[in-house]
Amino acid sequence: MHNKPSFRTLKIELTIKRLIAEYVVTHKEFLIDFPSLRLEITDVKVSKDLRFARVLLVHNIRDTEFEKFKKKYTRKMQELIAKTLTSKFIPRISLYVDEPYKESIKVQQLIDKL
């Protein structure tokens, strides 16, 4: 058996990534609470049964502020996905920090200083 995701799973992952990026660009109300927030979506992983999605991203705010951001805006992002996707199950999204990517950025910044 292989672990390669199906075409449908990949399509849903790309759609979720696009919708969340669209939300961040078009709905600027979070800048009132988090004026210095910058987000970069690095990856989206959907479970095989299409019920859950992990959104991996990198941010420039403290972890406590990021937790507040998650609590306040994950539901709004979820609603946008539910309105747009036309599938039997709408994946429930969870926002996570992409730690390996964040570490690679730090290493690259150290290399650039040399």
- The domains located in the chain, with CATH, are 7-113 (3.30.300.20)
Global pTM reads 0.81
Percent of the chain with pLDDT over 90: 37
Q: Which residue has the higher pLDDT, 28 or 68?
A: 68
pLDDT at 37: 83
Q: What is the pLDDT of residues 71-106, one digit of tens each?
A: 989 999 999 999 998 888 889 999 998 888 777 777
Class of residue 23 by CB neighbours under 10 A (exposed 0-12, middle 13-18, buried 19+) = middle
Q: What is the pLDDT of residues 43-54, one digit of tens each?
A: 999 998 889 999
